[in-house]
Amino acid sequence: MDLKLNCKSSTPSIAPFSKKKTISGNLDDGLADGKIDVTESSSPSRKKIRTNHLKDHAQEEALPKYKLWMFKYPSALTSFEQMTDHAKGKKIALFLDYDGTLSPIVNHPDSAFMSSEMRTAVKSVAEYFPTAIISGRSRDKVFELVGLTELYYAGSHGMDMMGPVRGSKFLFKDYQNCIRSTGIQRKESQMFQPATEFLPTINKVFRSLVESMGRIKGAIVENNKFTVSVHYRQVEKKAWLDVSQIVHDTLKDYPNLKLTHGRKVLEIRPILDWNKGKAVEFLLQSLDLGNSEDVLPIFVGDDRTDEDAFKVLREKTRGYGIVVSSVPKDSSAFYSLRDPSEVLVFLRYLVNWGGSDSIHSK
């Protein structure tokens, strides 16, 4: 990558907060239904034990619904042979989300570390198949967390990408703002940043939200270069609407920005016809695989923003989306994995399959 960006998370300090009139309407699923995890070093209280019992009971009741959901979204593990049968004679291109896919969802975004086993698996799979991580974080941040030079990286939901130079003749023709660059990975790459004009606005919004969210205990504002994330996972539930109110009030002054929702996070993004699905198409072009019938793209992700990539693969009937979720939810994916631990197993399956004699004998 090029220069290291000054994109840093901020954990605002606590200050008195006078409650405003809150907005009406539903927020995202997390604001409506989410629960805040509380970790205590002491033994659980009777109330905590009762709460855990109710939670276990709810999980038992949800299990049949999840099994029913899996009829529509079969496990990518039990369906692996079927997937590889379809992949015979084709080149797999692998695309991965980061948070909730390669790393667990955690309270603080700076603590979302992937395990050493996961890093080894990702590194190994990249030896056989071109592999990219497309994350909502800044490109520099996700590279810092992953630390593998064998991969390609796209940050800000695909608005900040570094890809290979193989498909240059297509990229320079079809994509403006696409330039060659040699960055931290020490190899020539194509850099594409379709939202560059929004940078001054995004920085203003980031500074404004850092100041405003200082009133909310536990709120975290993250600068992802071309987007701003407001994490409320550590905010008391009674203050969730306050968080939303501040974000909505801030956006009133910026009609060229929009608000999207993730898992316990509100994201401010440019109003731009660009998403993870278009990022997948760009990277396939940069790999010189965009117009090939002999490529099988696979995208693994857990977030709502990953649905754009799932839709591209489904609508063009050219690849597989794999949704990572432990609860039933609608998706444009073909297959499912329950959590990052199953993602790890899936990657190991790919490594074993990629290294098998059946692949090299083709």
Contact 301, 323 (CB under 8 A): yes
pLDDT at residue 178 tops 80? no
Per-residue pLDDT, 33: 38
Per-residue pLDDT, 341: 97
Per-residue pLDDT, 213: 97
Which residues are within 8 A (CB) of 212 and not within 5 positions of it... i.e. 6 or more apart?
246, 250
Mean pLDDT across the chain, nearest whole number?
81
pLDDT at residue 198 tops 60? yes
Per-residue pLDDT, 289: 84
pLDDT at residue 73 tops 50? yes
Domains present along the chain, CATH in parentheses: 9-34+197-270 (3.30.70.1020), 70-167+179-188+274-360 (3.40.50.1000)
Q: What is the pLDDT of residues 136-177, one digit of tens each?
A: 999 999 999 999 999 999 999 999 998 776 544 544 455 556
